């Protein structure tokens, strides 16, 4: 009974504080994500007030938050749009992975950590945070922008690449034989292809699993079935070494028509709740005392990470015929790193690859999780101002006409 009371007290305090933080962020006009992460630092190990009783619940809530973020993101697009985007942006996805893995691989070799750590750090720096970016796009009202499908295509390619990378990394860290590692990879790829096939070819059947479009809309049934189906598919995907985020995203893609619209409406408040818990969870598992020793290396990696992601987004949006402002937005929106980077670093730390790898990855992710939303928020007004100054013709003070040459 006392344990339950402690959970209620801790959760109530955390959620109330997040509500206050979110209100302040909305008044200031910025995304609340960086503030949620900092709040997690305050409540985590080595922070001002360590949580104990509710930590397991918060961890589970964070996983649900990722599923809901990707589910609602998938609801914005149809299977045909996904397939078209993947075909068109495949070269951009390949460039994105290679360009953004390079700083991590280079850092591992410069620090003398070896080839295994280089494979790990390449994954840490390469993959953007689908969860954070989904939240930022929703907060800033950019889901309907022309560059958003480009950003989502790059994210989906990254998530699909993770379905190949994670089994390989797991086999490498476990020192498995080539045969055993190949079997793990084959199972993961088979599960991924199956989920993609169902989402693209049988979306109408998936829609009927949630609710019959011909019946009168019932929000309670839509909520329970959509959430249940997303969690079920995400869990099966995770069990088969495929990203749970990919599974949830494809469920959203598979739902269509009025059912998708209804699911989006009823899931949005639930998504916002668990998304806030997800971002707090990042901070909870970062000890502030571990940050100073790796601060310099994490800062350099963060600067390189911003540059490579902006370049990736710019190039991908340019290939899609997006104007200059949209290219800047696409690049800035891809900056954030998050859940996958933490998962990859966690696997390496558990395998005993290097004692400094965990703190470096956590510091890097914290930097990028803060810089990503801020860059996405401020790139548009700054870019607009710069374009206005560049396009404005200089005038002489006296006449206001063209300058005298």
Least confident of 42-56, 163-177, 243-257, 284-298: 42-56
pLDDT in tens, 109-129: 999 999 999 999 999 999 998
Q: How far apart are CA 256 and CA 263, in angstroms?
A: 10
Q: How far apart are CA 100 and CA 305, in angstroms?
A: 7
Domains of the chain: 2-23+32-385 (1.20.1530.20)
Contacts of residue 35, defined as CB under 8 A and 6 or more positions apart, other chains included, come to 21, 22, 24, 25
48: confidence class by pLDDT, cuts 50, 70, 90? low
The pLDDT of residue 396 is 38
Q: Residues 376, 146, 125, 182: is their CA dihedral positive or negative?
A: positive
Q: How far apart are CA 381 and CA 385, in angstroms?
A: 6
pLDDT in tens, 267-305: 888 888 888 887 787 677 667 777 788 889 999 999 999
**Size of the chain, expressed as the number of residues it contains:** 405
> What's the whole-number average pLDDT of the chain?
79
């Amino acid at each position: 009974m006392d344990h339950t009371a402690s959970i209620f007290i801790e959760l109530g305090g955390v959620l109330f504080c997040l509500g206050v933080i979110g209100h302040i962020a909305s008044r200031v006009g910025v995304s609340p994500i960086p503030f949620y992460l900092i709040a997690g630092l305050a409540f985590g190990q080595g922070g001002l007030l360590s949580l104990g009783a509710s930590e397991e619940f918060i961890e589970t809530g964070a996983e649900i938050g990722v599923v809901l973020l990707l589910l609602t993101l998938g609801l914005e697009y149809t299977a045909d749009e996904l397939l078209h985007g993947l075909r068109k942006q495949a070269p951009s996805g390949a460039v994105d992975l290679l360009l953004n893995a390079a700083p991590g691989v280079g850092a591992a070799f410069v620090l003398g950590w070896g080839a295994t750590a280089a494979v790990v750090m390449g994954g840490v720096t390469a993959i953007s945070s689908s969860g954070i970016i989904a939240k930022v796009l929703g907060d800033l009202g950019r889901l309907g922008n022309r560059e958003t499908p480009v950003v989502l295509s790059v994210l989906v390619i990254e998530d699909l690449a993770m379905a190949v990378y994670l089994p390989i990394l797991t086999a490498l860290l476990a020192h498995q034989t080539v045969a055993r590692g190949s079997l793990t990879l084959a199972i993961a790829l088979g599960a991924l292809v199956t989920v993609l096939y169902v989402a693209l070819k049988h979306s109408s059947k998936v829609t009927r699993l949630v609710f019959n479009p011909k019946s009168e809309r019932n929000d309670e049934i839509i909520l329970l079935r959509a959430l249940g189906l997303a969690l079920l598919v995400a869990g099966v995907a995770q069990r088969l070494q495929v990203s749970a985020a990919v599974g949830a995203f494809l469920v959203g893609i598979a739902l269509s028509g009025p059912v998708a619209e209804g699911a989006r409406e009823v899931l949005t408040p639930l998504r916002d709740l668990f998304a806030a818990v997800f971002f707090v969870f990042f901070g909870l598992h970062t000890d502030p005392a571990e940050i100073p020793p790796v601060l310099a290396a994490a800062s350099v990696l963060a600067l390189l990470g911003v540059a490579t992601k902006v370049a990736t987004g710019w190039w991908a949006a340019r290939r899609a015929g997006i104007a200059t402002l949209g290219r800047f937005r696409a690049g800035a929106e891809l900056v954030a790193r998050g859940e996958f980077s933490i998962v990859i670093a966690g696997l390496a730390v558990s395998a005993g690859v290097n004692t400094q790898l965990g703190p470096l990855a956590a510091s890097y992710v914290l930097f990028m999780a803060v810089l990503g939303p801020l860059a996405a928020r401020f790139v548009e007004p700054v870019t607009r101002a710069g374009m206005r100054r560049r396009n404005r013709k200089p005038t002489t003070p006296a006449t206001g006409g063209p300058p005298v040459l």
